[in-house]
Amino acid sequence: MKKLVKIVMGIGIMAFGVFVFVLMGKKETAMEPPKKSAPPLVATALAEPKSISYSIEVTGTVNAKHKVEVYSEVQGVLLAGKTPFKEGNTFYGNETLLQLDDREYRAQLLSNKSSLVSQIAAMLPDMEMEFPEASKKWEHYLKTFEMDGPLEVLPETSSDLEKFFLMGKGVFQTYYNVKNQQERALKYTIKAPFTGTVTESNVNPGTLVRSGQKLGEFIDPSVFELQLAIPATANRYIKVGKKVKLSTLDDDQEFMGELSRINDKVDQGTQTVGAIVEVSHKDLKDGQYLSATIKGTEIDDVIRIKGNLILENDYVYIIKDSALALQKVRPVNYYRDSVVVKGLSNHMIVLDEVLANAYPGMKVNY
């Protein structure tokens, strides 16, 4: 029995020893210092400041340089013309765009012309007595008066007494009433101000047109203006007269234009100014979108880097003694995915990639 107890105690002591040995091994393993990881390998670029042309790429809308909205200033029924006033139809300069029925108005005009003639004829006997020399020119005016022709200018008066005499007879008042009606009669015919195309038509022959009604839109499709919004700071680098490369948004067609105007007023909300590029091409359409690339003057002592390398407050990472360091820069030109900056000295080593969890002092390999 004693022998059995000794055997059991021996086995227990051995088991306890094994347990202590394993426990001590775990502690030693836990206290071993972690192995240090190697610094990450990063992409870099060597700063070599040089002169780079200022560039900007913006998108804008093409509008016809010569565009008029056609309104009626009188009321009347629209008559059918030789060429319908419809979208896509072309009219030559001074050709009739629209003709309103003016028969009633012209009849009234002829009636008033007749009244003017009657007034002059009725005053001639008195004028021959008061102003015998002046009466001859008024007789000549009556003989050459054309009812269907344009109203001729009244003869000049020779004295204030003659003028007062004519005013008392109401000649001037009737004359200017007729002249006003004659000018208004011209408004029944709307002529093309230039050779162009109808882009909008809001009326059909036979309909009653009212005064002030918009009838359509007429443009000259030979010259267009591209309206752009460029940064206000671009003014110092971009000048009027510069050639501008234009392209459709799908890059299918390219055109060349010229910067014709730059607005002096800055939009407070966007801090941009309006720039107008003039361009001519048979394939351009009013309202079309185009992309414009404008090249400006050269900027000295700058380098171009990726746009996503710029940190908050305009810093970038450079590498000093195999560690990251912050370097202040001044962006002067954003173009597509890149940015042109000042503030990087020659042969500075610039971090050329976005590094996750980067911080100043972080060790790197390059």
366 contacts 331 by C-beta, under 8 angstroms: no
Rounded Cα–Cα distance for residues 197 and 178 (Å): 35
**Distances 253 to 56, 246, 248, 289 between C-alpha atoms, Å:** 19, 8, 6, 12
Please give the pLDDT value at position 168.
93
Among candidates 257, 195, 199, which has minimal Cα distance to 226?
257
CA angle 99/104/105 to nearest 5° reads 75
Please give the pLDDT value at position 9.
55
- 333 forms beta bridges with 340
pLDDT along the chain (366 residues), means of 10: 50 54 49 66 93 93 96 96 95 96 95 95 92 91 92 92 93 95 96 96 96 97 95 90 93 93 93 95 94 93 94 92 94 91 93 92 92
Residue 167 φ/ψ, nearest 5 degrees: -65, -40
Please give the pLDDT value at position 297.
92
Residue 79 φ/ψ, nearest 5 degrees: -95, 155
Residue 158 DSSP one-character state: S
State which fold the 67-95+192-219 domain adopts: OB fold (Dihydrolipoamide Acetyltransferase, E2P) (2.40.50)
Among candidates 294, 271, 280, 365, which has minimal Cα distance to 39?
365
Among candidates 124, 132, 134, which has minimal Cα distance to 156?
134
Rounded Cα–Cα distance for residues 244 and 233 (Å): 18
Please give the pLDDT value at position 13.
58
**Distances 310 to 148, 316, 337, 340, 348 between C-alpha atoms, Å:** 79, 5, 11, 11, 16
Please give the pLDDT value at position 4.
47
Please give the pLDDT value at position 251.
82
Rounded Cα–Cα distance for residues 220 and 287 (Å): 13
**In the chain, where are the structural domains located?**
1-32, 44-52+300-351, 56-64+221-298, 67-95+192-219, 104-186
Q: How far is CA 101 from the centre of its chain?
A: 40
Rounded Cα–Cα distance for residues 138 and 119 (Å): 11
Q: How far is CA 304 from the centre of its chain?
A: 29
**Residue type at 168 in one-letter notation:** G
CA angle 292/298/302 to nearest 5° reads 110
User: Within 10 Å of residue 190's Cβ, how many Cβ atoms?
Assistant: 22
Please give the pLDDT value at position 8.
47
323 contacts 362 by C-beta, under 8 angstroms: yes
Please give the pLDDT value at position 317.
95
What beta strand segments (E) does the chain contain?
A: 44-46, 50-64, 67-71, 76-79, 90-91, 96-100, 189-191, 196-201, 208-209, 214-219, 224-231, 243-247, 254-262, 272-279, 289-306, 315-320, 323-328, 330-335, 338-342, 349-351
Residue 310 DSSP one-character state: -
CATH number for the region 56-64+221-298 comes to 2.40.30.170
Residue 24 three-state SS: helix
Q: Which residues lie closer than 8 Å to 128 by C-beta, 6 or more apart?
A: 135
Please give the pLDDT value at position 29.
44
Please give the pLDDT value at position 35.
57
